[in-house]
Amino acid sequence: MATLGIPANTIAVLQKYNFNFQKKFGQNFLIDTHVLDKIIEESHITKDDFVLEIGPGIGTMTQYLCENAREVAAVEIDKNLIPILADTLSAYDNVEVINEDILKVDINRLAQEKNGGRPIKVVANLPYYITTPIIMGLFESHVPIDSITIMVQKEVADRMQVGPGTKDYGALSLAVQYYAKPEIVANVPPNCFMPRPNVGSAVIRLTRHSAPPVQVENEKLMFRLIRASFNQRRKTLANGLGNAPDIPLSKTEIQESIEELGVPVTIRGEVLTLEQFAKLSNIVGKKLADKKQK
């Protein structure tokens, strides 16, 4: 089977099937074998691994994954790609293509069936608009994951690994860093894709923490606080939390909580560290529990 990482082979497949790129699925296919090699290398895939690939497209990376992993499940939402994948992956007997929206797939069941519940590796080339929901879905559902190696827009990769006080720091940075250690392992210019996107991309590896780096009693509450404090970036933390409908505390209680954290009441959410958000969440959680008892 012809390697799809070579542009001429990708063009031949697309012409054979009269394939039209779907804007709504944000389709950009990789046409650079160096980048593909790098992704395989950085995702540390071995013959012991079961890999979940999200958005295989025409199977470019899937071919590489099949060569290197024990077994691959590739989830593709676009039904027009299913016959193409049957063709481009016909040489491999260790791959299953699932025509489904990844947000609707029961990944826990997949991990159980294919990997005996052991942590799986996820590899994906994700369209910009769906990156955050997919990553958060993977983490929040507590699927057994070893690592997620993904190609995303460069700006999103930056956002995942920055710290407090920078303009890219936000809810995504905190969520990713709570669950995993992010490392940008490659920058990928637009000419490595067909069609060419307007922006640069990056490959980022998220290695799942064996235990969260901070102690928090209620994860969901912490993320509610985080989202509320970044919803209105210009506002102070107190205002952000005060305007959040899902945080049932009075202005005074919010101010007391911030003071108890040991920071100025005028502070903005964007300068708090993950550890401070965890502490604040524990303080707020206790206040909410006390209110219930009264």
- Owner of token pair 């206790």: 286
Give the Cα separation of 9 and 50 in Å (integer): 27
Question: Looking at residue 218, what is its pLDDT?
Answer: 95
Question: Looking at residue 231, what is its pLDDT?
Answer: 84
pLDDT band at 221 (very low <50, low <70, confident <90, very high): very high
What percent of the chain shows pLDDT beyond 70?
A: 97
- Per DSSP, the residues of 114-175 read HHTT--EEEEEE--GGGHHHHHHHHHHTT--EEEEEEEEEHHHHHHHH--TTSTT-SHHHHH
**Residues whose CB falls within 8 Å of the CB of residue 212, separated by 6 or more in sequence, listed in order:** 178, 179
Give the least confident one: 72-76, 141-145, 187-191: 141-145
With residue 97 as reference, give the H or E element that holds it: strand 95-99
Average pLDDT over residues 15-24: 70
Higher confidence at residue 212 or residue 11?
212
Average pLDDT over residues 181-195: 93
Average pLDDT, the chain: 91
pLDDT band at 282 (very low <50, low <70, confident <90, very high): very high
Domains of the chain: 7-208 (3.40.50.150), 219-293 (1.10.8.100)
Question: Looking at residue 23, what is its pLDDT?
Answer: 59
Give the Cα separation of 178 and 262 in Å (integer): 22
pLDDT band at 26 (very low <50, low <70, confident <90, very high): low
Question: Looking at residue 109, what is its pLDDT?
Answer: 94
- Owner of token pair 């590899």: 123
Task: Name the residue type at position 121.
Answer: K
Higher confidence at residue 90 or residue 293?
90
Average pLDDT over residues 153-163: 93
- Cβ proximity of 56 and 62 under 8 Å: yes
Question: Looking at residue 270, what is its pLDDT?
Answer: 92
Question: Looking at residue 22, what is its pLDDT?
Answer: 62
What is the model's pTM? Answer: 0.89
pLDDT band at 1 (very low <50, low <70, confident <90, very high): low
